[in-house]
Each structure stands twice: as C-alpha cells, then as structure tokens.
Amino acid sequence: MNTKNNIAKEFMKKSIFSFDLDNSEVMIVWSLRHWASCSVTGENPQELFKLCREQHQLPDISVLIEEVVYGIAAGTEEKGPIGSELCDHVHYGEFKILEALCMLQNDKFDEAQLSLNGWLKPEQGRSLHKILNAFAAILEKSNLIIPTRRQYHSNWSTH
C-alpha cells in the first residue's frame, strides 16, 4: 500500500542522480551539502558557490544558505540531516527544505510552516520559514522552480 509515508521514504532512498532531480533541486541539495561540508572542514564556501551563482544567474544568496544550514543544525536532533557532497541519496533535512521551498513557491505558506515545525525546534522552524520565504522568491525569480511532487506533500515525519 502506498501511504504518504511510504512515498516520502521511497523518494529519500533513491539516488539524487538516478531519481532525476530537477536542476533547481540539485542546486539546493548541492548548496546545502557544500555549505555544511565547508563548515566542518573550515574551508571558505564562497569561491565554489560563486560558480553556482554565476551558472544560475543568482544574486549572492550565500547568507541565506548559511542560515538554513545553521538553522537545521541548531533545530534538529536528527542524525545527518544534510549529506556529504559525495552522498548518493537525499537526506531528511534536504528533503524537508525542498518540500518547504516547493510549498512556498506555490503559496502554501501555512503548510510550509507546519512542515518545518514538524521536525525543527519551534524557534528554528519559525526562523527558517522566514529565510526560506526569501530564498523561494529569489529562486523563482531566477526560474529555479522546485517541481511539485507528491512526495513534497506527504507530511512525512520521522516518528
């Protein structure tokens, strides 16, 4: 039986590349992973991220990505919510950010807030909702639309 939980779990098990994620989704996942990796290694993520910004013709949104990564780190007790740069599957935190961005780009503000609050501490959920609102608008303006997928409306949680 394909329950909403099973649909989301199946999505997360698939490889990022074999699942055929849209360019906008790959850009988000890569950005989160790159920023998280650099915060651990002490490298400056700005140089490599500059190439991403140029490729997608984005303004400098690095502060938003940085705040999302730190908000996830502070707001969840999940293990490994963001994968390493070489990881071949979507992690829970990445999935939830893609889900929230999709909802926000489709004017489902309350659903996005509920989704974020379902896995983050309240203060981080509230903060990330505000940050992701701006992020979603900038992505949309640059034609980086997160495609509507049934997995993004699953209300899946870890418990």
- pLDDT at 106 (0 to 100): 94
Q: How far is CA 154 from the centre of its chain?
A: 15
Q: To the nearest whole number, what is the mean pLDDT of the chain?
A: 83
Those residues whose C-beta lies under 8 Å from the C-beta of residue 113, and which sit 6 or more positions away, are 125, 126, 129
When pLDDT is cut at 50, 70 and 90, the band that residue 65 belongs to is very high
CA distances from 16 to 38, 51, 92, 117 (A): 20, 21, 13, 25
Mean pLDDT of 127-145: 94
Mean pLDDT of 48-75: 87
- pLDDT at 17 (0 to 100): 43
- pLDDT at 159 (0 to 100): 32
Burial class (CB in 10 A: 0-12, 13-18, 19+), 36: buried
CA distances from 17 to 7, 96, 153 (A): 18, 18, 21
Q: pTM of the prediction?
A: 0.82
**Residue 154 burial (CB count, 10 A):** 19
Give the Cα separation of 81 and 129 in Å (integer).
17
The answer to whether residue 15 scores a pLDDT higher than 50 is no
When pLDDT is cut at 50, 70 and 90, the band that residue 11 belongs to is low
Mean pLDDT of 56-71: 90
Give the Cα separation of 117 and 42 in Å (integer).
30
When pLDDT is cut at 50, 70 and 90, the band that residue 48 belongs to is confident
> Read out DSSP for 92-132?
HHHHHHHHHHHHHHTT-HHHHHHHHHTTS-HHHHHHHHHHH
Q: Who has greater pLDDT, 112 or 2? A: 112
